[in-house]
Structure 1
Amino acid sequence: MSSLDVCLFRNYFKILLYVFSSSYLFTLIWFIILLILGFIESLKRISQ
């Protein structure tokens, strides 16, 4: 492997890591929002 290949591989890995972390955060945020909405719905049912 030449130094150029290593550099490209590192950049590719960084991009992959960034995409993975951002999609992980996105999934986490959506999960929290759905959890809160479900909690509000159950509270509405209890209060009725």
Structure 2
Amino acid sequence: MFKEGGTGAGVRSISPKDNMGAGACIGNACRGLPDGEKVRIEVVD
């Protein structure tokens, strides 16, 4: 679904529960977008 990477990209492990919650949140936010639509996800602390 998403292409990852870019300057400063990083990966770290998260719990399966957090992963499911994040996936549901992103899925809901993307609902209704046409196939191939580009989005930017910014993670801030």
Q: Whose helix proportion is higher, 1 or 2? A: 1
* TM bracket, shorter-chain basis: 0.3 to 0.5
